[in-house]
Amino acid sequence: MRLRLADSGAKRTEQSMPSPRLKDFLANPGKALAKGPVAMVFAEDETELNSTLRHHLDSGFKSVLVFVPDNFDLAPDVAQAETVYRIQHDLSGGDSLSEAVNAVIAAAPGLWMYYCYNAEYLFYPFCETRTIGEMLAFHAEERRDAMLCYVIDLYADDLDAHSNAVSLEQAHMDKSGYYALARPDAENHNHPKERQLDFFGGLRWRYEEHIPAKRRKIDRIALFKAKPELLLSEDHTFSDEEYNTYACPWHHNLTSAIVSFRTAKALKRNPGSTFDIATFKWHNSIPFEWHSRQLLDLGLMEPGQWF
Protein backbone atom coordinates (compact mmCIF):
# COMPACT_ATOMS: atom_id res chain seq x y z
CA MET A 1 0.00 0.00 0.00
CA ARG A 2 1.53 3.29 -1.10
CA LEU A 3 0.99 5.93 1.55
CA ARG A 4 -0.31 9.19 0.10
CA LEU A 5 1.70 12.00 1.67
CA ALA A 6 0.34 15.41 2.49
CA ASP A 7 0.73 18.09 -0.15
CA SER A 8 2.81 20.72 1.61
CA GLY A 9 1.60 23.32 -0.88
CA ALA A 10 -2.08 22.61 -0.38
CA LYS A 11 -4.18 25.38 1.12
CA ARG A 12 -5.82 24.65 4.43
CA THR A 13 -9.58 24.57 4.51
CA GLU A 14 -11.70 27.21 6.20
CA GLN A 15 -14.46 25.73 8.34
CA SER A 16 -17.60 27.60 7.33
CA MET A 17 -19.69 26.15 10.13
CA PRO A 18 -19.08 24.02 13.22
CA SER A 19 -19.14 20.28 12.68
CA PRO A 20 -21.87 18.38 14.54
CA ARG A 21 -21.42 16.81 17.93
CA LEU A 22 -21.71 13.03 17.90
CA LYS A 23 -25.26 12.98 19.30
CA ASP A 24 -26.44 15.30 16.53
CA PHE A 25 -24.54 13.36 13.86
CA LEU A 26 -26.04 10.04 14.93
CA ALA A 27 -29.52 11.53 14.86
CA ASN A 28 -29.07 12.06 11.11
CA PRO A 29 -26.03 10.12 9.83
CA GLY A 30 -27.14 10.02 6.20
CA LYS A 31 -25.13 7.42 4.27
CA ALA A 32 -22.30 7.34 6.81
CA LEU A 33 -23.59 4.24 8.59
CA ALA A 34 -25.40 2.61 5.67
CA LYS A 35 -22.59 0.17 4.85
CA GLY A 36 -19.44 -1.09 6.50
CA PRO A 37 -16.68 -1.25 7.22
CA VAL A 38 -16.65 2.13 8.95
CA ALA A 39 -13.42 3.73 10.21
CA MET A 40 -13.30 6.08 13.20
CA VAL A 41 -10.22 8.30 13.45
CA PHE A 42 -9.70 10.24 16.69
CA ALA A 43 -7.46 13.29 16.47
CA GLU A 44 -5.33 13.98 19.53
CA ASP A 45 -3.49 16.70 17.59
CA GLU A 46 -3.03 17.67 13.95
CA THR A 47 0.12 15.60 13.37
CA GLU A 48 -0.28 13.58 10.13
CA LEU A 49 -4.05 13.75 10.45
CA ASN A 50 -4.51 14.14 6.70
CA SER A 51 -2.19 11.24 5.79
CA THR A 52 -4.00 9.06 8.34
CA LEU A 53 -7.35 9.81 6.73
CA ARG A 54 -6.00 9.28 3.20
CA HIS A 55 -4.49 5.95 4.18
CA HIS A 56 -7.77 4.60 5.51
CA LEU A 57 -9.76 5.96 2.58
CA ASP A 58 -7.37 4.09 0.28
CA SER A 59 -7.85 0.90 2.32
CA GLY A 60 -11.47 0.71 1.20
CA PHE A 61 -13.50 1.82 4.23
CA LYS A 62 -16.99 2.81 3.10
CA SER A 63 -17.05 5.74 5.55
CA VAL A 64 -14.40 7.50 7.62
CA LEU A 65 -15.65 9.35 10.68
CA VAL A 66 -13.07 11.85 11.91
CA PHE A 67 -13.44 13.04 15.50
CA VAL A 68 -11.72 16.43 15.77
CA PRO A 69 -11.94 19.76 17.59
CA ASP A 70 -13.42 22.53 15.47
CA ASN A 71 -10.10 24.40 15.26
CA PHE A 72 -8.34 21.51 13.46
CA ASP A 73 -8.02 21.97 9.70
CA LEU A 74 -8.27 19.26 7.06
CA ALA A 75 -6.64 19.36 3.64
CA PRO A 76 -9.12 20.15 0.81
CA ASP A 77 -8.96 16.69 -0.76
CA VAL A 78 -9.78 15.10 2.59
CA ALA A 79 -12.40 17.59 3.74
CA GLN A 80 -14.23 17.35 0.42
CA ALA A 81 -14.19 13.55 0.16
CA GLU A 82 -17.75 12.23 0.03
CA THR A 83 -17.05 9.44 2.52
CA VAL A 84 -15.34 11.59 5.19
CA TYR A 85 -17.63 12.80 7.98
CA ARG A 86 -16.33 15.34 10.45
CA ILE A 87 -17.58 15.16 14.06
CA GLN A 88 -16.80 17.67 16.80
CA HIS A 89 -14.84 15.86 19.51
CA ASP A 90 -12.00 17.03 21.77
CA LEU A 91 -9.97 14.29 23.47
CA SER A 92 -7.79 16.87 25.24
CA GLY A 93 -10.93 18.56 26.55
CA GLY A 94 -12.23 15.43 28.22
CA ASP A 95 -14.28 13.82 25.48
CA SER A 96 -14.04 10.03 25.69
CA LEU A 97 -12.94 7.71 22.88
CA SER A 98 -14.67 4.65 24.30
CA GLU A 99 -17.97 6.47 24.85
CA ALA A 100 -17.89 7.72 21.26
CA VAL A 101 -17.13 4.26 19.86
CA ASN A 102 -19.89 2.75 21.98
CA ALA A 103 -22.39 5.31 20.71
CA VAL A 104 -21.53 4.45 17.09
CA ILE A 105 -21.80 0.72 17.90
CA ALA A 106 -25.29 1.24 19.31
CA ALA A 107 -26.33 3.25 16.26
CA ALA A 108 -25.16 0.73 13.65
CA PRO A 109 -25.34 -2.89 14.85
CA GLY A 110 -24.21 -5.39 12.24
CA LEU A 111 -21.53 -3.19 10.64
CA TRP A 112 -17.81 -3.90 10.78
CA MET A 113 -15.96 -1.02 12.45
CA TYR A 114 -12.41 0.14 13.13
CA TYR A 115 -10.90 2.87 15.28
CA CYS A 116 -7.50 4.51 15.62
CA TYR A 117 -5.79 7.81 16.44
CA ASN A 118 -4.10 10.26 14.08
CA ALA A 119 -0.59 9.26 12.94
CA GLU A 120 -1.68 5.60 13.02
CA TYR A 121 -1.98 3.43 9.91
CA LEU A 122 -3.71 0.05 9.55
CA PHE A 123 -1.88 -2.73 7.74
CA TYR A 124 -3.36 -6.18 7.17
CA PRO A 125 -2.09 -9.17 5.16
CA PHE A 126 -1.89 -8.40 1.43
CA CYS A 127 -3.36 -4.91 1.89
CA GLU A 128 -1.49 -3.72 -1.20
CA THR A 129 -3.83 -5.71 -3.46
CA ARG A 130 -6.93 -6.42 -1.35
CA THR A 131 -9.43 -4.13 0.33
CA ILE A 132 -10.37 -4.08 3.98
CA GLY A 133 -13.83 -5.32 2.97
CA GLU A 134 -12.41 -8.39 1.25
CA MET A 135 -10.32 -9.23 4.28
CA LEU A 136 -13.21 -8.85 6.72
CA ALA A 137 -15.52 -10.90 4.50
CA PHE A 138 -13.11 -13.82 4.78
CA HIS A 139 -12.71 -13.27 8.51
CA ALA A 140 -16.49 -13.33 8.97
CA GLU A 141 -16.73 -16.59 7.04
CA GLU A 142 -14.53 -18.10 9.74
CA ARG A 143 -17.18 -17.07 12.27
CA ARG A 144 -15.03 -14.32 13.74
CA ASP A 145 -16.59 -11.01 14.83
CA ALA A 146 -13.41 -9.25 15.93
CA MET A 147 -9.74 -9.09 14.99
CA LEU A 148 -6.67 -8.62 17.14
CA CYS A 149 -4.37 -5.81 16.03
CA TYR A 150 -0.84 -5.19 17.28
CA VAL A 151 0.13 -1.54 17.68
CA ILE A 152 3.68 -1.32 16.31
CA ASP A 153 5.60 1.81 17.29
CA LEU A 154 7.15 3.96 14.60
CA TYR A 155 9.67 6.74 15.23
CA ALA A 156 11.85 9.13 13.26
CA ASP A 157 15.48 8.09 13.05
CA ASP A 158 16.79 11.63 13.64
CA LEU A 159 15.16 13.53 16.51
CA ASP A 160 17.22 16.64 15.78
CA ALA A 161 15.60 16.87 12.36
CA HIS A 162 12.18 15.67 13.59
CA SER A 163 11.71 16.93 17.13
CA ASN A 164 8.21 15.44 17.45
CA ALA A 165 9.60 11.99 16.48
CA VAL A 166 7.35 11.81 13.40
CA SER A 167 8.64 11.32 9.86
CA LEU A 168 6.86 9.27 7.22
CA GLU A 169 9.92 9.25 4.97
CA GLN A 170 12.38 8.27 7.73
CA ALA A 171 10.14 6.03 9.84
CA HIS A 172 11.84 3.25 11.81
CA MET A 173 10.53 0.39 13.93
CA ASP A 174 11.83 -2.34 16.24
CA LYS A 175 12.42 -5.67 14.49
CA SER A 176 12.43 -7.67 17.76
CA GLY A 177 11.61 -7.40 21.45
CA TYR A 178 7.94 -8.37 21.25
CA TYR A 179 6.44 -10.91 23.65
CA ALA A 180 3.17 -12.09 25.19
CA LEU A 181 2.03 -13.03 28.68
CA ALA A 182 -1.03 -14.93 29.84
CA ARG A 183 -3.98 -12.67 30.65
CA PRO A 184 -5.16 -13.44 34.20
CA ASP A 185 -8.87 -13.74 34.94
CA ALA A 186 -9.60 -11.83 38.14
CA GLU A 187 -12.98 -13.54 38.41
CA ASN A 188 -11.45 -17.03 38.24
CA HIS A 189 -8.60 -16.96 40.78
CA ASN A 190 -6.34 -15.26 38.19
CA HIS A 191 -6.18 -18.35 36.00
CA PRO A 192 -5.24 -17.52 32.39
CA LYS A 193 -8.11 -16.54 30.16
CA GLU A 194 -8.75 -18.85 27.22
CA ARG A 195 -7.19 -17.64 23.93
CA GLN A 196 -6.33 -14.25 25.39
CA LEU A 197 -2.85 -12.80 25.86
CA ASP A 198 -1.34 -9.47 26.80
CA PHE A 199 1.24 -8.34 24.22
CA PHE A 200 4.21 -6.07 24.84
CA GLY A 201 7.12 -4.57 22.94
CA GLY A 202 8.32 -1.51 21.07
CA LEU A 203 8.83 1.84 22.79
CA ARG A 204 6.34 1.02 25.54
CA TRP A 205 8.65 -1.84 26.55
CA ARG A 206 11.99 -0.09 26.03
CA TYR A 207 10.88 3.04 27.93
CA GLU A 208 8.52 1.39 30.37
CA GLU A 209 9.74 3.61 33.23
CA HIS A 210 7.92 6.48 31.49
CA ILE A 211 4.76 4.48 30.66
CA PRO A 212 2.05 3.71 33.26
CA ALA A 213 1.72 -0.06 33.70
CA LYS A 214 -1.87 -0.17 32.45
CA ARG A 215 -0.79 1.48 29.16
CA ARG A 216 2.14 -0.77 28.27
CA LYS A 217 0.20 -3.35 26.25
CA ILE A 218 0.34 -3.13 22.46
CA ASP A 219 -2.74 -5.25 21.65
CA ARG A 220 -5.95 -3.58 20.53
CA ILE A 221 -9.19 -5.09 19.23
CA ALA A 222 -9.45 -2.37 16.61
CA LEU A 223 -11.54 -4.27 14.04
CA PHE A 224 -14.89 -5.61 15.21
CA LYS A 225 -18.50 -6.18 14.22
CA ALA A 226 -20.98 -4.01 16.08
CA LYS A 227 -23.86 -5.66 17.89
CA PRO A 228 -26.42 -4.63 20.52
CA GLU A 229 -25.07 -4.07 24.04
CA LEU A 230 -21.43 -4.48 22.93
CA LEU A 231 -19.19 -2.09 24.88
CA LEU A 232 -15.57 -1.02 24.42
CA SER A 233 -13.56 -0.42 27.60
CA GLU A 234 -10.81 2.12 28.16
CA ASP A 235 -8.23 -0.69 28.03
CA HIS A 236 -9.19 -1.48 24.39
CA THR A 237 -11.03 -4.70 25.27
CA PHE A 238 -14.72 -5.51 24.82
CA SER A 239 -17.52 -6.62 27.12
CA ASP A 240 -17.91 -9.82 25.06
CA GLU A 241 -14.90 -11.97 26.02
CA GLU A 242 -14.89 -13.78 22.66
CA TYR A 243 -14.12 -10.48 20.98
CA ASN A 244 -10.90 -10.29 23.02
CA THR A 245 -9.51 -13.63 21.80
CA TYR A 246 -6.68 -13.81 19.27
CA ALA A 247 -8.07 -16.85 17.40
CA CYS A 248 -10.92 -19.33 17.30
CA PRO A 249 -10.51 -22.69 19.10
CA TRP A 250 -9.76 -24.73 15.98
CA HIS A 251 -7.04 -22.82 14.06
CA HIS A 252 -5.11 -19.57 13.70
CA ASN A 253 -7.01 -16.54 12.42
CA LEU A 254 -6.03 -13.35 10.68
CA THR A 255 -4.47 -10.57 12.71
CA SER A 256 -3.49 -7.06 11.64
CA ALA A 257 -1.07 -4.33 12.67
CA ILE A 258 -1.47 -0.63 13.34
CA VAL A 259 1.82 1.17 12.81
CA SER A 260 1.77 4.17 15.10
CA PHE A 261 3.80 7.27 15.92
CA ARG A 262 1.60 7.88 18.98
CA THR A 263 3.97 6.58 21.67
CA ALA A 264 7.02 8.27 20.17
CA LYS A 265 5.12 11.57 20.00
CA ALA A 266 4.05 11.28 23.62
CA LEU A 267 7.53 10.41 24.89
CA LYS A 268 9.02 13.45 23.16
CA ARG A 269 6.17 15.75 24.20
CA ASN A 270 6.25 14.72 27.86
CA PRO A 271 8.67 16.86 29.92
CA GLY A 272 9.37 13.87 32.15
CA SER A 273 10.82 11.80 29.31
CA THR A 274 11.88 14.05 26.44
CA PHE A 275 15.27 15.01 27.88
CA ASP A 276 16.10 11.36 28.61
CA ILE A 277 15.76 10.39 24.94
CA ALA A 278 18.33 11.61 22.42
CA THR A 279 17.32 8.95 19.88
CA PHE A 280 14.88 6.06 19.67
CA LYS A 281 17.25 4.07 17.48
CA TRP A 282 19.01 0.99 18.90
CA HIS A 283 20.64 -2.11 17.46
CA ASN A 284 17.24 -3.64 16.60
CA SER A 285 15.92 -0.60 14.71
CA ILE A 286 15.14 -0.98 11.02
CA PRO A 287 13.53 1.32 8.44
CA PHE A 288 9.81 0.74 8.03
CA GLU A 289 9.04 -0.15 4.41
CA TRP A 290 5.31 0.73 4.44
CA HIS A 291 4.47 -2.76 3.15
CA SER A 292 2.55 -5.65 4.70
CA ARG A 293 5.20 -8.17 3.66
CA GLN A 294 7.68 -6.70 6.14
CA LEU A 295 5.21 -7.07 9.02
CA LEU A 296 4.34 -10.62 7.96
CA ASP A 297 8.02 -11.59 7.73
CA LEU A 298 8.64 -10.23 11.23
CA GLY A 299 5.67 -12.15 12.63
CA LEU A 300 3.84 -8.98 13.58
CA MET A 301 0.63 -10.10 11.94
CA GLU A 302 -0.84 -13.45 10.94
CA PRO A 303 -2.45 -14.36 7.58
CA GLY A 304 -4.22 -17.37 9.07
CA GLN A 305 -5.90 -19.40 6.34
CA TRP A 306 -6.13 -16.42 3.94
CA PHE A 307 -3.82 -16.59 0.96
186-231 residue pLDDT tens: 889 889 999 999 999 999 999 999 999 999 999 999 999 999 999 9
Confidence of residue 9 (pLDDT cuts 50, 70, 90): very low
What range defines the domain where residue 61 resides?
Answer: 1-118
Last residue of a domain, one of 98, 118, 138: 118
Predicted local confidence at residue 274, as pLDDT: 94
Return the SS3 of 133: helix
Predicted local confidence at residue 4, as pLDDT: 64
Where do runs of H (alpha helix) occur along 28-171? 49-59, 76-79, 97-107, 132-141
235-275 residue pLDDT tens: 999 999 999 999 999 889 999 999 999 999 999 999 999 99
Is 123 inside a domain boundary?
no
Number of structural domains (the chain) is: 2
| 188 and 273 share one domain | yes
Reported pTM: 0.94
CA 234 → CA 69, 97, 145, distances in Å? 21, 8, 20
Residue 30's domain is classified under what CATH number? 3.40.50
| 37 and 96 share one domain | yes
Predicted local confidence at residue 187, as pLDDT: 87
128-186 residue pLDDT tens: 999 999 999 999 999 999 999 999 999 999 999 999 999 999 999 999 999 999 999 98
